[in-house]
Amino acid sequence: MILAALPEGQSGATISVMLLDEGDSSGWVLKALRECANSVVSELSLLDDETLCRAPADGDWCLKEIAAHLRDAEELSLRQMTAIVENTGGTLPAWDIDLLPAERNYRPKDLGDLLSQMIKLRRETTYLIWGLPGSEWRSSGDHPYRGRVTVETIARELAQHDLEHLAEIRRLKHQLTKHDAA
């Protein structure tokens, strides 16, 4: 576990970030995927739109853009894992999800819609993984930039990505709500 301290001069609880161990089973990855998605929804659901759309600095993502980014990451990962499992052949789908918040202007979007889409995609992802026999967990496909990647690798990276952004959401939420209270 990694402990992330709050920014200089701020008091409050320390935020912990759990890193996934390489030796974890698919069950642990599924648990992390389910719990992290639920935590993201819980962290963001009661915030007003002004807070959700306030970025900490120019060029940084706001909370709503982070939520949309997580949805985009889920969509891409699900497509990649599905392509491997269905053995469609060819190169796995790939696009730069880090560019999408700027290209798609997520700030005016409804947070409820973004989170609903993320949860729907997450449900599809977990159903796909649950249904895999052990041998397919290590099935692989050709990523255009990374070479051969397995379903397991994609799922673990998605879970790790979620955990990193959940910690970011918590830090930013604390920073923004503390700023509002001052």
Where are the domains positioned within the chain?
22-181
| Residue 35 in this model has a pLDDT that exceeds 90 | yes
d(CA 126, CA 36): 12
d(CA 134, CA 110): 39
Per-residue pLDDT of 78-131, as tens digits, reads 999 999 999 877 899 999 999 999 999 999 999 999 999 999 999 999 999 999
Q: Which residue has the higher pLDDT, 178 or 167?
A: 167
d(CA 85, CA 92): 11
pTM: 0.84
d(CA 84, CA 138): 10
Q: How far is CA 3 from the centre of its chain?
A: 19
| Residue 76 in this model has a pLDDT that exceeds 70 | yes
Mean pLDDT of 10-18: 50
Task: State whether CATH 3.40.190.10 applies to domain 22-181.
Answer: no
d(CA 156, CA 84): 15
Mean pLDDT of 23-31: 78
